[in-house]
Copies of this chain bind each other. A is one copy, B any other.
């Protein structure tokens, strides 16, 4: 007898973290996927480029995947596509025109270029196996965002994607509240909603409010205006273009991904740019300072971004000069604060005028704050509530918010990545079933090959360096031949410590001669262990540092 089917919702990313959003909806033999994002590495993951979701659960189920839906074109929603789509057998993908454009452009940088994307709009209805999917319009800080209505045999699940309500958005229409309210009349089984700003009280700020602040900065700017922001913040880019046009400034866009995004968004009509507004960066010098703006990447102090290159005088066409106004048009991502402070210092030293959000809020978050979140819940009126997208404490706070507008805590499901949620028409269970959802790290060409051991080694070497001891032993006599070699990096300045090195070598010889003596029936592992332990302890006693000691014993 077959077990009664249930709707299984499996978050592979985005729960208990900000980033790498990916969620599976599974019913019998049918699976659909919402988003396929990446996450930037934590501080304890040196050298890692980024992290993608673990798709082990889908192995063997590739044929069940009926479709992949992309809510919008930000990296935390699309970043893992080039890595995962080929492994999943390239199932059909559905996205808005802008998201599709950004995804396709990005594919060009990867070996598996071909990707089959179906462009959908807010009227589309997609039937995939037992699922039927519709969309609704919400705001974020990029246009072309899809809220999702997923019809399943057990009931309707609404997934907001990243959203806020903006009644006067830029480069976009206001969220379609009428349609959302109408969806809310349909007895919604569950709402999955964006928790990123669940700890921020009040309503989110309209992009249009920002416009006024920017206007004030532009009026006062006597020289060039340089705006650093994320390359994917299409709304902010639109604002800078519009306001530059208002004050007769040409606009140069610098940064590979930003230029790509502007091109795609203009072509598709998301971005409105007057003819003649855009110039190339090398043309800046042809215009008076108060007639140009430069928009570029680097608001987070990213090492290779345009603003950093300008400040380090590594930019071919632009140097900071007195009179420049530099606007940091995005809040600082946790972890980048100190880098950004240093960047601001550099700009001040080079005599620029710097405007950051602490002084003047030129940032509107893209995520619904407490009042927006309440409004969404009130409109959708779900039976069950599943907070998504956010650190665990944000999800918890979102569940608390839901409670204040009538969803009892017992109907809220605060889960974690990999934890299977089962829904039927009249039940919702956070099951004990966990599918693999650990980090998959991408480093250079390697996907998932850097594990905890490699990372731990990197961290140890970054703290105290490494110390390789090479000793040659005569296999017949068990005696050391000549002097040991020592190769050390990141531990001490070797030439400054001749005494320490001499004494270390002396001890290595002593340890090796003692442990390798042939009466011991030479056990090379034993010799190495002794060198590692005793030399490690000796170096620690002398320096209070613990380099990674690597003994190499060569028998000749």
Residues of A within 8 A of B (CB): 16, 42-43, 46-47, 199-200, 334-335, 337-339, 341-342, 344-345, 347-349, 354, 358-359, 391-393, 396, 443-446, 449-451, 453-455, 457-459, 461-466, 468, 470, 472, 485, 487, 489-493, 496-497, 542-545, 548, 550, 552, 554, 556
On whether the beta carbons of B47 and A345 are closer than 8 Å, the reply is no
CA of A338 to CA of B41 in the docked complex: distance in angstroms?
Answer: 11
- Whether A42 and B462, one on each chain, are in contact in the complex, defined by CB atoms closer than 8 angstroms, is no
Among candidates B345, B392, B497, residue contacting A16 with C-beta atoms closer than 8 Å: B345
Nearest Cβ on chain B to A364's Cβ, whole angstroms: 17
Cβ-closest chain B residue relative to A49: B544
Residues of B within 8 A of A451 (CB): 493
Would B545 and A463 count as touching, CB distance under 8 A? no
A337 in contact with B334 (CB, 8 Å): yes
Is there an interface contact between B461 and A43, defined as CB atoms closer than 8 Å?
no
Assembly CA distance A461 to B454 (angstroms): 11
Can you list 13 A-B pairs, Cβ within 8 angstroms, ordered by A?
Answer: A47-B464, A47-B465, A47-B545, A337-B337, A457-B489, A458-B461, A458-B490, A461-B461, A461-B465, A461-B489, A468-B468, A468-B487, A554-B554
- Inter-chain contacts of A199 with B (CB < 8 A): 358-359
Contacts of A453 in B (CB 8 A): 493
Given A43-B339, A358-B199, A466-B461, check contact A449 B348 (CB 8 Å): no
Contact A337 B338 (CB under 8 A): no
* Cα A459 to Cα B472 with chains together (Å): 30
Min distance, Cβ A495 to any Cβ of chain B, angstroms: 10
Q: Are B465 and A457 in contact (CB under 8 A)?
A: yes
List of 6 A-B pairs having minimum Cβ-Cβ separation, nearest first: A444-B544, A462-B462, A334-B337, A458-B490, A47-B463, A46-B462
| B contact residues around A16 at 8 Å (CB) | 345
Complex CA distance for A472 and B466, rounded to whole angstroms: 22
Residues A463 and B458 in contact, CB atoms below 8 Å apart: yes
Residue of B nearest to A199 (CB): B358
Copies in the complex: 2
Residue in B344, B468, B544 whose CB lies within 8 Å of A391: B344
- Given known pairs A444-B545, A458-B462, the reply for A345 and B468 (CB within 8 Å) is no
> Which B-chain residue is minimally distant from A548 (CB atoms)?
B489
- The answer to whether B457 touches A490 (Cβ under 8 A) is yes
In the bound complex, do residue A358 and residue B200 qualify as a contact, i.e. CB atoms below 8 Å apart?
yes
Contact B42 A338 (CB under 8 A): yes
A395 shortest CB reach to chain B, Å: 8
Q: Is the CB of B444 within 8 A of A543?
A: yes
Question: What is the CA–CA distance of A342 and B391 in the complex, to the nearest angstrom?
Answer: 8
The closest CB in chain B to the CB of A43 belongs to B338
CB-based nearest B residue for A455? B490
Q: Is the CB of A468 within 8 A of B550?
A: yes
Asked if residues B345 and A334 are in contact (CB atoms below 8 Å), the reply is no
| Closest B residue by C-beta to A539 | B444
Contact of A465 among B358, B392, B458 (CB under 8 A): B458
CB closest chain-B residue, reference A396: B348
Residue numbers in B under 8 Å from A485 (CB-CB): 552, 554
Known contacts A391-B341, A450-B493, A550-B468, A463 near B542 by CB under 8 Å: no
Chain B residues in 8 Å Cβ range of A46: 462-463
Q: Is the CB of B335 within 8 A of A470?
A: no
Q: How far is the CA of A493 from the CA of B358 in the complex (A)?
A: 44
Q: Report the separation of the CA atoms of residues A463 and B459 in the bound assembly, to the nearest whole angstrom.
A: 9
Cβ-defined contact, B450 with A492, below 8 A = yes
Are B490 and A445 closer than 8 Å at their CB atoms?
no
Contact partners of A463 in chain B: CB under 8 A: 46-47, 458
Asked if A466 and B454 make an inter-chain contact with CB atoms under 8 angstroms apart, the answer reads no
User: Using Cβ atoms and an 8 Å threshold, which residues of chain B touch A497?
Assistant: 449
Contact (Cβ within 8 A) A449 B492 = yes
CB of A476 to closest CB in B, whole Å: 14
- Residues in B whose Cβ lies below 8 Å from that of A545: 47, 443-444, 446
Q: Are B552 and A392 in contact (CB under 8 A)?
A: no
Residues of B within 8 A of A349 (CB): 392
Contact of A487 among B454, B496, B550 (CB under 8 A): B550
Residues of chain B contacted by A443 (CB below 8 angstroms): 545
A494 to chain B, nearest CB (A): 9
The CA of A393 and the CA of B545, in the complex, are separated in Å by: 36
B472 near A470 with CB under 8 A, answer: no
| Cα of A354 to Cα of B97 in the assembled complex, Å | 42
A462-B465 contact, Cβ under 8 Å, with A43-B339, A338-B43, A359-B199: no
| CA–CA, A543 and B454, complex, Å | 15
> In the bound complex, do residue A493 and residue B449 qualify as a contact, i.e. CB atoms below 8 Å apart?
yes
Q: Which of B347, B464, B554 contacts A470 (CB 8 A)?
A: B554
| Chain B residues, CB < 8 A from A344 | 391, 393
Q: Which residues of B contact A354 (CB under 8 A)?
A: 393
Q: Determine whether the beta carbon of B543 is less than 8 Å from that of A445.
A: yes
Question: Bound complex: CA of A392 vs CA of B349, how far in Å?
Answer: 7
Chain B minimum-CB-distance residue to A542: B445
Choose one: B47, B335, B348, B449; the contact of A393 (CB below 8 Å). B348
